[in-house]
Amino acid sequence: MIDEHKNWQSINLSAIGQRLAWLQQQPDGIIFCQDSGVHYVVVRKDRSRIKLALVEKVNLHTDLLQSVFDFNNPLHLVSEYTQAMLLGLVWQNQPQRIYIAGFGGGRIPLVLHHYLPETVIECADVDPIAIEAATQCFGVQLGDRLTVTIQDGREYLEQQKPDTQYDIIMTDVFFGNGYFPHRLATKEFYQLCQKHLSSEGVVLVNLLQRDEFYAEKVKTFQSVFSQVCVCPWKDINSVLIGSNSALLEKNEIVSRAKYLQDGHQFSFLLTDRAQEVKLGTELAEAIPNLDKAQILHDDSPPAGYFDCWLF
């Protein structure tokens, strides 16, 4: 079975390379730009780096980097927060089914699709133009095991059958100004995730630390999941990890990450991200005002939430 997986992965990597070959012939600069609502979806080439960003129409100097990769190493996750999202495999190393709210350039889905040949990955995103950019410029090929539905991420989950369960659920949703939707940050949303989570499943959420309601979002997450960890990246992103399975100590998280690293031979060190995980008192100390934060609910967004412009 291992040999079959390795053979499939070799064929899959070759296919990704063929889909990306045209990029090497392109000059540096913008290679994709399309109008999408309140922003432009822009893909730039800088040597071997390809970057997808959402550029605000009202301020062309303001953009939010969504995805980046190096076409010389398409399976390498450049951004450390995307590496941290793969820590979900520490809790579920052979997931049967994964749900991801938010797609962007499809970097995380593409890498999971490659390393987990028996896993079905379902994604939802409201921006069809970003998905077009991902399939044209990021080597993503959709199919039976990797699907994207043009739909709000919460709405997609709400419409699943009551017995539909996922081993891993990820949320990575931002608009061009850095706004994180309120309806994906509430206790009711995380209870919905819990409802569709397998007994040993795990939920991961990408947050921006400069968010005015960062502590509230962590506190809300803690109100639903019995074990919550955070993996911070500099002063930029934090990946929240939540599960209601048996509690894992830090040394076990690192040990399992090493097992995954040895087995998959990721081009980045998943063990480094595991070492950065904070839980318990470390988590409380890493997030200012966490003890004073309020839990977010659907029907009572805090004052100023919808005025929160991060960029």
- CA separation for the pair 259, 262 (Å, rounded): 5
DSSP β-bridge partners for residue 122: 99, 147
Q: Write phi, then psi, for 299 (nearest 5 degrees).
A: -90, 5
Residue 201 belongs to some domain of the structure = yes
Residue 64 belongs to some domain of the structure = no
Residue 311 has what pLDDT? 41
Residue 239 belongs to some domain of the structure = yes
Residue 57 has what pLDDT? 80
Distances (CA, A) of 136 to 186, 206, 273, 294: 34, 25, 30, 42
- CA separation for the pair 223, 64 (Å, rounded): 30
262-291 residues labelled b (16+ CB within 10 A) or e (exposed): eebebebebbebbebbbbeeebeeebeebe
Residue 53 belongs to some domain of the structure = no
Average pLDDT over every residue of 257-272: 96
- CA separation for the pair 222, 81 (Å, rounded): 20
Instruction: Give the tens place of pLDDT for each residue, 85-98.
Output: 999 999 999 999 99
Q: Write phi, then psi, for 92 (nearest 5 degrees).
A: -135, 90
pLDDT band at 301 (very low <50, low <70, confident <90, very high): confident
Residue 262 belongs to some domain of the structure = yes
Residue 178 has what pLDDT? 53
Say which amino acid occupies 113.
Answer: H
Q: Which candidate, 65, 7, 11, places its Cα nearest to that of 39?
A: 65
Domain that holds residue 188: 74-307
Q: Are strands 227-233 and 237-243 parallel, antiparallel or unpaired?
A: antiparallel
Our count of domains for the chain comes to 1
* Sheet strand arrangement including 227-233: 146-150, 120-125, 97-101, 166-171, 197-208, 237-243, 227-233, 278-279
Angle of CA points 276, 282, 284, to nearest 5°: 125
Residue 109 belongs to some domain of the structure = yes
Q: How far is CA 33 from the centre of its chain?
A: 23
Handedness of CA 143, 94, 226, 286 (dihedral sign): negative
Which one-letter DSSP state was computed for residue 290?
Answer: G
Instruction: Give the tens place of pLDDT for each residue, 165-218.
Output: 999 999 998 765 456 789 999 999 999 999 999 999 999 999 999 889 999 999
Residue 301 belongs to some domain of the structure = yes
Instruction: Give the tens place of pLDDT for each residue, 208-263.
Output: 998 899 999 999 999 999 999 999 988 889 999 999 998 899 999 999 999 999 99
CATH of the domain at 213: 3.40.50.150
162-195 residues labelled b (16+ CB within 10 A) or e (exposed): eeebbbbbbbbbbbbbbbbbbebbbbebbebbbe
Q: Which residues have CB under 8 Å from 300's CB, separation 6+?
A: none
Residue 129 is encoded by which pair of tokens?
């133009």
Residue 254 belongs to some domain of the structure = yes
One-letter-per-residue 3-state SS of 6-49? HHHHHHHHHHHHHHHHHHHHCCCEEEEEEEECCEEEEEEEECCE
Say which amino acid occupies 307.
Answer: D
Residue 307 has what pLDDT? 63
DSSP count for the chain of H helices, then E strands: 11, 12
